[in-house]
């Protein structure tokens, strides 16, 4: 399907049920029906979608719930969760304060096959391996099959070998009023924030909402909390304590719950935390809830996903709830079906909230946008809905359409200079920056729609292409729409800048003009179109405001000084009651001071200056400033944006230019690896790899690793490989060097890491000789540094078996090993070795053909599958092979076998492709203690994908005239290309101009061949120029 903004697709599986316990049948499947039963995969291109997943009893008012579904990319690099709530809050603390959590159950789903999870509630542990689309329930199910159950307590830790998504089902028995239930999505540790604004869906007395705050850190934090009635400051215990999760109603100085029509804000300069909101707390009448989204992710534009007002749409008891991040935020609403007309508008300050009801009783597809960032939720309203059918006791938070939660392909940024024009009007320069990210694009064009009363300034366009060349094309003008048919290409990381001028001379009735631009690009290897939009706002009025910041780049802890320079640039209008304000981005910085009597409001982060009267006249009338410090936990690459605002009796509020500060911070990434399978008593080696991928120096870097239970540390095996310079043994005794072993934990201190610096750590353990077959040896590392919180690596799992398998790969440029490099269109040869100690029968080795490759040959007696392993044949099929396998009826004790196969890599690859592959093995004997196939190590083959393009100017040269050639090149692969050389032969009929060659390694001494010795072309590098 192709969806336009606001379109909705509703996928429904249902069944009439008149019993208390009912279910939607999904197995055995009816081929005449499509059942959406969890584990379904939805893929989009061209733009983001908001996805909701809900269930409720049909024609009844029993338990129901809804989850917002984050994109898979939002979980990238996330391997751990600390659950903010659990059943122990209800049972061990106060059931009246934690009345929503008598029962708490976990739902966990895998994104990838062979994902190992470990769930630890502090008293017991569950370990499982699950595949893509499978869901584990802590009640003791893996999909519909039985699995180990575990109690879910607050602070329960989940570790995984690959990213997963997690939800909670909570509930309690409310006596005669029924059973309450709430569905909550849990964010992974790395996504929690330090500032939240949340709508609080409270009703009248007895139907209030509760807000729970949870500290995931191993140190206490102080939280500042605000609502329309009060503000409070309180400490929250570190994780590991039941009191690490607190109800906000108990922190409000005896005032109880947040009153109706009030939102809430929570912020901390100490560290990140989580927020959970439960409507109609401890009651079953209007029970629903959601996990709040940190304010750093909020946006100004939302389309509401599935959001009916009632099951039969006879009324609207479930509105959309909104609350802004800043004061004086103006909202606009277009009810669905969308027609581009504003149906409702209103203005809110921080801590105010509004309920929006679509008159057709279905809020699905509603478009809500505002002048500032805001938070959105959808759910039942205790003051509107009745307590029974057809109203829905469920709700969720509406997700912002964040670029960072996508595989970004094409973005557009737009600015205006100036942002404020005098009453007589004038000209504005608009700049549109189009940038390609994860894919090469072709046929890139730009469109811009001018507001009414504006006209394009002829011959004002200037375009800068990726190779540095420029031109001044005129747009096609159709009314207010400007179209530049550039038909250019953008490779990875390349950008195109287009500037033009537009003017307004008649400003009668015009105070604000919004200009929207759009970039359009086509994926080079598919027909997918990408068309990001961006807006720039220009105000008209007598006052002008220009903003500057002391640093375009800053580090954590640095001081930033913002200056706002204001003027009355009218020749005749006196501005009275002039007010200047600025909103401090408290999610990134901490306010310190403001000049000239500026007053700071902590709940909204707003600084206000009352300037009084400004007389007309040219020049700068004055300036104010304020100072902030960058918070310690701001991530590397964060861009802190800030805008000032000015208004008077004669002028609506207008914004300044936007200033940006990019944060340079340490960012130490680390991963852990080890064998996937080993035999009893074997010595295995773990390797920890770390690298500071941030732009600032990391200090106090420390890694610690507790060896797995039942294993024995191999004395003297600890070593470090700093910066890849070679392995250096470390002493087990503390104080001698960077390492120490204090049983059962290894502690290694790399210390300071400059930007780009990294290394490896390795150590060995001996597995127990009496470990039962099929048991799992699990291990993970921890890393900490100055001004950061400790983090865990991915989970490494080793299965105990005497049937072992190992895999390696080789290419034309790489010897056989666990890693290799291949060029697009090249060959990869895989070698699989399997061996055993005891007798094994019916041994199968199964191998998927890697993505972006096709099978060429295979050794030994092999079977083929063309349908992902559902059907096998000893004859190679005409269709493409998806899997191959080998079979040994008998593997005598002490056997060692080797098989292999060769594939050819596609000549056209997605940018940054690394070819991943893993084999699996099983036997009759392993099936007795393992329900899964035993995986080999994963083999990665990085790719080199060079490209070269050539441009000529002028395209139609005159005889005897000069001709200039420009050669652009790059590497779309995931591995650096070494020893790269470009050779260009001077065209017949032309004469080379001596000395005109330039660029890296340029050499014209071999004419007519011109040579560039480029050396190394980095992976995913932007195009470079030679000429």
pLDDT of 38 strictly over 90 = no
938, with CB counted inside 10 A (0-12, 13-18, 19+), is middle
The confidence score (pLDDT) of residue 35 equals 67
Instruction: Supply the pLDDT for residue 789.
Output: 80
**Contact status, residue 303 vs residue 50, Cβ threshold 8 Å:** yes
pLDDT, position 3: 82
The pLDDT of residue 34 is 66
**What pLDDT is stored for residue 528 in this prediction?**
83
Whether residue 300 contacts residue 332, with contact meaning beta carbons closer than 8 Å, is answered with no
Model pLDDT, residue 278: 96
Tell me, rounded to whole angstroms, the distance of Cα 751 from its chain centroid.
29
* Strand ranges, E, within 812-957: 819-823, 827-836, 840-848, 853-858, 862-865, 883-891, 896-905, 914-917, 920-922, 934-935, 939-944, 946-953
Express each pLDDT in 445-470 by its tens digit.
999 999 999 999 999 999 999 888 89
Contact 313, 207 (CB under 8 A): no
Contact (Cβ atoms closer than 8 angstroms) between residue 548 and residue 563: yes
> Per-residue pLDDT for 60 more than 60?
no
Q: Which residue has the tokens 């989580």?
A: 274
Side-chain half-sphere CA neighbours of 531 within 13 A = 13
The stretch 234-244 carries a mean pLDDT of 87
As given in the structure block, the two tokens for residue 873 are 């044949």
Q: Are strands 559-568 and 575-583 parallel, antiparallel or unpaired?
A: unpaired
* pLDDT of 783: 95
pLDDT band for position 1022 (cuts 50, 70, 90): low
Q: How far is CA 97 from each of CA 69, 228, 528, 874, rounded to the nearest angstrom?
A: 29, 22, 52, 65
Tokens describing residue 562:
């913002």
Distances (CA, A) of 799 to 58, 87, 674: 45, 32, 11
Across the range 69-95, mean pLDDT stands at: 87
pLDDT of residue 435: 96
Question: Where does the pLDDT of residue 572 fall: very low under 50, low under 70, confident under 90, or very high at 90 and above?
Answer: confident
Question: Residue 373 is inside which H or E element, if any?
Answer: strand 367-379
- 194, 294 Cβ separation under 8 angstroms: yes
The predicted-structure confidence for 377-430, as pLDDT tens digits, reads as follows: 999 999 999 987 789 999 999 999 887 788 889 999 999 999 999 999 999 999
Q: Report pLDDT for 795.
A: 94
Peptide bond into 954 cis (omega under 30): yes
Distances (CA, A) of 464 to 288, 469, 547, 816: 52, 6, 26, 46
Among residues 152, 201, 527, which one has the least CA distance to residue 353? 201
- Please tell me the predicted confidence (pLDDT) of residue 17: 65
pLDDT value of residue 352: 98
Burial of 33 (0-12, 13-18, 19+ CB in 10 A): exposed
Distances (CA, A) of 873 to 447, 646, 867: 55, 75, 11
Model confidence over 189-226: pLDDT tens digits? 989 999 999 999 999 999 999 999 999 988 999 999 99
Model confidence band, residue 735 (pLDDT cutoffs 50, 70, 90): confident
Gap between the Cα atoms of 98 and 95, Å rounded: 5
Three-state secondary structure of 319-355: CEEEEECCCCEEEEEECCCCCCCCCEEEEECCCECEE
Distance CA(866)–CA(33), nearest Å, equals 26
CA atoms 496, 501, 504, 510: torsion sign: positive
Each residue's pLDDT tens digit, 428-448: 999 999 999 988 899 999 999
Radius of gyration of the CA atoms of the chain, in A? 31
Strand partners, 617: none
pLDDT of residue 438: 83
- Is it the case that residue 48 has pLDDT exceeding 90? no
Q: Which of 253, 268, 928, 230 is nearest to 631 (CA)?
A: 268
Please give the pLDDT value at position 18: 65
CA nearest neighbour of 562 among 576, 577, 552, 573 = 552
Which candidate, 112, 105, 38, places its Cα nearest to that of 79?
112
Stretch 483-489: mean pLDDT: 95
Contact call for residues 437 and 492 (beta carbons, < 8 A): yes
Q: How far apart are CA 187 and CA 610, in angstroms?
A: 42
Say if CB 733 and CB 814 are below 8 A apart. Answer: no
Predicted local confidence at residue 549, as pLDDT: 98
The average pLDDT across 567-577 equals 91
| Confidence tier at 959 by pLDDT (50, 70, 90) | confident
Nearest to 143 by CA among 242, 40, 14, 262: 40
The sign one gets for the Cα dihedral 372, 376, 382, 384 is positive
pLDDT tens, 260-318? 999 999 999 888 999 999 999 988 889 999 999 999 999 999 999 999 999 899 999 99
Is pLDDT above 70 for 619?
no
Model confidence at 172: pLDDT above 90: no
Residue 19, pLDDT score: 63
How far apart, in whole angstroms, are the C-alpha atoms of residue 438 and residue 407? 7
> What is the C-alpha to C-alpha distance for residues 369 and 535, in angstroms, rounded to an integer?
13
pLDDT band at 74 (very low <50, low <70, confident <90, very high): very high
Q: Report the candidate in 262, 305, 258, 281 with the shortest Cα–Cα distance to residue 66.
A: 305
Interval 508-533 mean pLDDT = 89
- With CA atoms as reference, report the closest residue to 658 among 643, 645, 639: 643
User: CA angle, corner 35, sides to 33 and 38, nearest 5?
Assistant: 170
Average pLDDT over residues 679-703: 95
pLDDT at 814: 82
- 697 pLDDT higher than 70: yes
- What share of the chain in percent tops pLDDT 90? 71
By CB atoms closer than 10 A (0-12, 13-18, 19+), residue 880 is exposed
Give 545's strand partners.
Answer: 566
Confidence of residue 93 (pLDDT cuts 50, 70, 90): low
Rounded to the nearest angstrom, the gap between the alpha carbon of residue 189 and the centroid of all alpha carbons in its chain is 13
Interatomic CA distance for residues 915 and 973, integer angstroms: 11
The pLDDT of 175-199, averaged and rounded, is 89
For the chain, give the mean pLDDT: 91
User: Which is it for strands 553-555 and 659-664: parallel, antiparallel or unpaired?
Assistant: parallel
Per-residue pLDDT at 671: 94
Residue 15 has pLDDT above 80, yes or no: no
Over residues 250-264, mean pLDDT: 95
d(CA 369, CA 378): 15
Burial pattern 681-717, b for ≥16 Cβ within 10 A else e, equals: ebebebebbbbbebbbbbeebbbbbebbeebebeeeb
pLDDT band at 26 (very low <50, low <70, confident <90, very high): low
CB count in 10 Å sphere of residue 727: 12
Contact yes or no for 9/1 (Cβ under 8 A): yes
Q: Which helix (H) or strand (E) holds 88?
A: helix 87-88
Share of the chain above pLDDT 70, in %: 96
How far apart CA 1019 and CA 975 sit, in angstroms, is 5
Residue 495 is predicted with a pLDDT of 94
Task: Assign 617 a pLDDT band (cuts: 50, 70, 90).
Answer: confident
Phi, psi of 265 (to 5 degrees): -130, 140
Distance in angstroms (rounded) separating the CA atoms of residues 614 and 599: 20
Cα three-residue angle 656-661-665, rounded to 5 degrees: 160
Instruction: Give the pLDDT confidence of 762-791 residue by residue, as tens digits.
Output: 999 999 999 988 888 999 999 999 988 888
Task: Give residue 468's pLDDT.
Answer: 85
Closest CA to 708 of 797, 805, 770: 797
Question: How far is it, in rounded angstroms, from Cα 812 to Cα 528?
Answer: 34
- The token pair at 561 is 């000084």
Q: What is the dihedral of CA 462, 468, 469, 471, to 10 degrees?
A: 0
Q: CA-CA distance, 377 to 307, in Å (whole number)?
A: 10
| Tokens found for residue 902 | 């060769």
What's the distance, Cα to Cα, between the start and end of the chain in Å? 46
Per-residue pLDDT at 845: 97
What lies within 8 Å, CB to CB, of 181 at 6+ separation is: 63, 64, 65, 169, 170, 171, 287, 393
Question: Token match 């994926």: residue?
Answer: 523
């Amino acid at each position: 399907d192709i969806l336009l903004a606001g379109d909705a697709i509703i996928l429904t599986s249902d069944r009439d049920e008149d019993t208390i316990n009912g279910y939607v049948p999904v197995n055995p499947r009816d081929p005449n029906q499509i059942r959406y039963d969890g584990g379904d995969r939805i893929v989009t291109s061209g733009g983001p979608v908001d996805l909701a997943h809900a269930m409720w009893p049909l024609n009844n008012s029993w338990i129901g719930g809804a989850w917002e579904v984050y994109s898979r990319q939002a979980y990238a690099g996330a391997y751990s969760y600390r659950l903010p709530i659990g059943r122990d809050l209800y049972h061990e603390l106060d059931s009246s304060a934690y009345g929503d959590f008598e029962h708490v159950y976990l739902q966990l789903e895998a994104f990838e096959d062979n994902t190992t999870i470990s769930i630890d509630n502090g008293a017991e542990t569950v370990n499982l391996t699950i595949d893509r689309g499978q869901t584990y329930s802590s009640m003791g199910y893996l999909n519909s099959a039985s699995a180990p159950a575990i109690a879910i307590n607050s602070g329960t830790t989940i570790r995984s070998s690959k990213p997963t998504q997690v939800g909670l089902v909570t509930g309690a028995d409310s006596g005669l009023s029924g059973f309450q239930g709430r569905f909550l999505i849990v964010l992974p540790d790395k996504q929690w924030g330090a500032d939240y604004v949340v709508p609080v869906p409270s009703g009248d007395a007895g139907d209030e909402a509760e807000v729970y705050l949870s500290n995931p850190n191993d140190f206490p934090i102080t939280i500042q909390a605000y609502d329309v009635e009060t503000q409070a400051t309180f400490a929250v215990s570190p994780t590991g304590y039941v009191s690490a999760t607190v109800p906000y109603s108990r922190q409000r100085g005896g005032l109880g719950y947040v009153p109706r029509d009030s939102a809430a804000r929570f912020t901390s300069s100490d560290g990140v935390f989580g927020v959970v909101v439960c409507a109609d707390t401890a009651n079953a009448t209007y029970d629903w809830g959601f996990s709040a989204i940190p304010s750093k992710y909020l946006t100004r534009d939302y389309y509401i996903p599935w959001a009916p007002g009632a099951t039969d749409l006879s009324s609207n008891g479930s509105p959309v709830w909104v609350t802004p991040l800043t004061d004086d935020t103006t909202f606009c609403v277009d009810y669905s079906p969308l027609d581009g007309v504003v149906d409702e508008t209103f203005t809110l300050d921080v801590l105010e909230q509004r309920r929006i009801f679509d008159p057709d009783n279905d809020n699905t597809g509603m478009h809500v946008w505002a002048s500032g960032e805001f938070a959105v939720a959808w759910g039942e309203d205790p003051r509107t809905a009745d307590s029974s059918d057809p109203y829905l006791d469920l709700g969720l938070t509406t997700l912002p359409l964040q670029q960072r939660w996508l595989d970004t392909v094409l973005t557009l940024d737009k600015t205006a200079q100036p942002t404020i024009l005098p009453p007589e009007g004038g000209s504005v320069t608009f700049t549109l920056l189009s940038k390609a990210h994860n894919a090469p694009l072709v046929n890139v064009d730009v469109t811009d729609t001018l507001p009414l009363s504006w006209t394009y300034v002829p011959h004002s366009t200037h375009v800068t292409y990726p190779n540095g060349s420029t031109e001044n094309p005129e747009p096609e003008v159709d009314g207010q729409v400007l179209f530049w048919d550039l038909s250019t290409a953008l490779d990875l990381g390349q950008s195109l800048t287009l500037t033009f001028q537009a003017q307004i001379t008649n400003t009668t009735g015009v105070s604000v003009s919004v200009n929207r631009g759009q970039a359009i690009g086509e994926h080079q290897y598919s027909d997918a179109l990408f068309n990001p939009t961006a807006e720039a706002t220009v105000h008209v009025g007598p006052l002008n405001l220009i903003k500057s910041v002391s640093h375009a780049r800053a580090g954590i802890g640095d001081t930033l000084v913002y200056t706002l320079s204001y003027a009355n640039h009218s020749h005749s209008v006196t501005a009275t009651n002039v007010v200047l304000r600025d909103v401090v981005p408290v999610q990134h910085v901490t306010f310190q001071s403001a000049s000239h009597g500026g007053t700071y409001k902590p709940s909204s982060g707003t600084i206000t200056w009352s300037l009084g009267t400004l007389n007309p006249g040219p020049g700068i009338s004055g300036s104010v400033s304020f100072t902030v410090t960058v918070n310690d936990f701001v991530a590397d690459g964060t861009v802190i944006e800030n805008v000032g605002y000015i208004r008077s009796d004669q002028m609506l509020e207008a914004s300044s230019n936007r200033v940006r500060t990019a944060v340079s911070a340490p960012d130490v990434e680390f991963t852990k690896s080890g064998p996937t399978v080993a035999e009893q008593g074997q010595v295995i080696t773990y390797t920890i790899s770390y690298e500071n991928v941030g732009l600032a120096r990391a200090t106090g870097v420390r890694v610690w690793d507790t060896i797995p239970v039942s294993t024995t540390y191999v004395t003297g095996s600890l070593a470090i490989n700093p910066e890849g310079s070679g392995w250096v043994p470390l002493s087990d005794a503390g104080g001698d060097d960077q390492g120490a072993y204090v049983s059962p934990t290894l502690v290694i201190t790399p210390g300071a890491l400059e930007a780009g610096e990294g290394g490896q750590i390795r150590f060995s353990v001996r597995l127990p000789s009496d470990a039962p077959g099929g048991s799992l040896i699990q291990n993970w590392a921890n890393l900490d540094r100055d001004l950061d919180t400790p983090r865990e690596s991915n989970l490494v799992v080793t299965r105990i078996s005497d049937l072992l398998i190992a895999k390696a790969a080789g290419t034309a440029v790489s010897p056989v090993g666990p890693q290799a490099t291949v060029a697009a269109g090249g060959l990869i040869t895989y070698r699989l070795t399997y061996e055993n100690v005891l007798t094994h029968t019916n041994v199968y080795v199964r191998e998927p053909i890697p993505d972006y490759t096709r099978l060429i040959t295979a050794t030994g007696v092999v079977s083929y599958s063309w349908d992902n392993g559902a059907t096998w044949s000893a004859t190679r099929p005409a269709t493409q092979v998806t899997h191959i396998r080998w079979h040994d009826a008998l593997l005598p004790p002490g056997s060692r076998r080797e098989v292999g196969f060769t594939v050819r890599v596609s000549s056209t690859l997605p940018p940054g492709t690394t070819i991943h592959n893993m084999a699996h093995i099983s036997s009759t004997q392993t099936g007795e203690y393992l329900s899964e196939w035993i995986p080999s190590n994963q083999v990665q083959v990085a790719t080199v994908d060079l490209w070269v393009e050539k441009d000529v100017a002028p395209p139609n040269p005159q005889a005897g005239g000069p001709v200039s050639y420009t050669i652009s090149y790059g590497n779309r692969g995931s591995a650096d290309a070494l020893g790269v050389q470009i050779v260009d032969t001077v065209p017949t009929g032309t004469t080379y101009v001596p000395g005109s060659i330039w660029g890296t390694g340029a050499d014209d001494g071999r004419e007519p061949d011109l040579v560039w010795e480029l050396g190394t072309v980095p992976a995913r590098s932007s195009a470079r120029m030679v000429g």
